[in-house]
Structure 1
Amino acid sequence: MVADVSAASPTAAPEPGQPARRTAGRGPVAWVAMYHSVSDCPDDPYNVTVTPERLDRQLAWLARRGLRGVSMRELLAARARGEERGLVGLTFDDGYADFVSSALPVLYRRGCTATVFVLPGRLDGENAWEPDGPRKPLLGMAGIRRVATAGMEVASHGLTHLDLTKVSDEVLRAEVESSRHLLAGITGGDVEGFCYPYGYMDERVAAAVRRAGYRYACAISPGPDGCGDFALPRIHLGRADTAPRLEVKRRLARFFGRAVGAE
């Protein structure tokens, strides 16, 4: 779940999580899509659900424009080579179990990969942090391993989905460091990425993520100056994002500070 859950009009800018800054004078840029649950559930008070059919149409829309969705790991590796043009980052927050049943088949069909930010402190649990809306199951150990063996990137969303800007240093360290170690034990591989729950972050939280050994972290809007790859911005996509809305969001990504620029 993220702080940004509004549904923009077809002519609106990408939904804001925090006031965005314009970026200019940088090299080639790529943008990053932020998804959550993929299901046919009509009860969606937080605008975090996209149907499999809508996801398929959105990925087809990318393909028609010569764009391909990839994980953050692939996107950042391509950026390091100066080859990020034509790529779009695909991220799925909260680690919903429906990623395996509903998103994976669509990603396979479209030749895409993605990053799934999961909660190892809520294995086989549910989205209890949402006060309203339906309870949805989260990935357990078997599901996380299925995601990893399918060629997707598994990354951390913290342990239990807390607003990390409001927790003690001890809790922050546990949420950031322990989640990384637990996921490495489940997948048998390194865990490079982190995603701030609700999109909330500040300099203290970003510094904790950096110290924990992550390579990057995803936010919503760019973070404080100097955060760099530890506050990578994203664009929220949901079931209402048809072709006209996607085109507006694509065009405004860089203008509103929602693009990942060259280093």
Structure 2
Amino acid sequence: MFCYHKITSRIDFGICVRTPDDFARDVRWVASLPAELRPHFIFDDGYDDTFHTAYPILESFGFKASLFVITDWIGKRNDWDANFFGKFEHISLPALRELAAAGWEIGSHGASHRALTTLSSAELRREVFSSKRYLEDALGVAVRKISFPFGLFNQRVIDACQDAGYDSAVSIRCASACGYVQRSLAVYRFDRQSHLRAKLHCHWLELMRLRAINSFSGLTVLMH
């Protein structure tokens, strides 16, 4: 799975962004691969540019995707993010309903984008149970998957997610596809086609590079 966050041409000094042109090239390259090698596209955080920009590009190639949403922030700007250079809007509920009707998988990214490993049992339960219930009630679809905020998880988090009824989970920090937790590979601002190819084949050097990059998400964790 290739994991994206923002798809925008707006100025953003973070790394979790692809321009629309870069994303279109990514999708075109994936479309050129044999069907059995094509990675699935997923989007964490649920920004409105997923609907306005990524969705039309993917539709033009006949691709569906998965979107993992922070339920407390639907239709709001991302004040939870430690990005001091501008704020971005999250997807609206009507747009979420349109994506679900178009065949996209909608999953949870927690209720508030807090690191699940740092929470009390009551807080953890709210993050995984309430976000799932909200999406199912609002969209009328089963929510079967959760993507862990910051990729952070432990056995306690897995147990809570299983108790909540999720069939599986996704993490950008998962060392490999390990049963319940599936690995996703983040695509960042500076990635070229050679990086995408290395991700596709899980090249050890690319996995080390991603591990180093993902470790910097600790700044936002500390800000919460």
**SS across alignment from 2:158:** helix
CA distance in 1, matches of 2:167, 2:138: 19
Contact 1:220 1:234 (C-alpha < 8 Å) held by counterparts: yes
Could you list the runs of 5+ residues in structure 1 that have no partner in the other structure?
Answer: 1-31, 68-84, 259-263
**Where do residues 211-250 of structure 1 align in structure 2 (5 Å cutoff)?**
211-222=163-174, 228-229=179-180, 231-250=181-200
Superposition RMSD in Å: 2.2
CA drift at 1:223: 6.4
- Residue of structure 1 in register with 2:69 after alignment: 118
Could you list the runs of 5+ residues in structure 2 that have no partner in the other structure?
Answer: 211-224
CA drift at 1:193: 0.8
- Residue of structure 2 in register with 1:172 after alignment: 124
Contact 1:201 1:223 (C-alpha < 8 Å) held by counterparts: no
Indicate yes or no: 2:78 matched with 1:127: yes
- Residue of structure 2 in register with 1:196 after alignment: 148
Per the normalisation by structure 2, the TM-score is 0.85
CA drift at 1:207: 0.9
Q: Which has the higher contact order (CA 8 A, sep 6+)?
A: 1
CA distance in 2, matches of 1:247, 1:223: 18
Between Structure 1 and Structure 2, which shows a larger proportion of helix residues? 2
Seen in structure 2, the aligned counterparts of structure 1 residues 88 and 127 have a Cα distance that, compared at 3 Å, is same
Per the normalisation by structure 1, the TM-score is 0.73
- Residue of structure 2 in register with 1:65 after alignment: 33
- Which of 135, 140, 143 does residue 183 from structure 1 map onto? 135
- Residue of structure 1 in register with 2:215 after alignment: none
- Which of 201, 212, 219 does residue 251 from structure 1 map onto? 201
Indicate yes or no: 2:159 matched with 1:207: yes
- Residue of structure 2 in register with 1:145 after alignment: 97
**SS across alignment from 1:93:** strand
Paired residues, number: 207
CA distance in 2, matches of 1:180, 1:243: 35
- Residue of structure 2 in register with 1:44 after alignment: 13
CA distance in 2, matches of 1:159, 1:235: 22
Seen in structure 2, the aligned counterparts of structure 1 residues 248 and 215 have a Cα distance that, compared at 3 Å, is same
Contact 2:176 2:183 (C-alpha < 8 Å) held by counterparts: no
- Residue of structure 2 in register with 1:56 after alignment: 24
Contact 2:39 2:200 (C-alpha < 8 Å) held by counterparts: no
**Aligned amino acid, residue 245 of structure 1:** H
**Aligned amino acid, residue 43 of structure 2:** F
- Residue of structure 2 in register with 1:5 after alignment: none
**Aligned amino acid, residue 202 of structure 2:** L
**Aligned amino acid, residue 160 of structure 2:** A
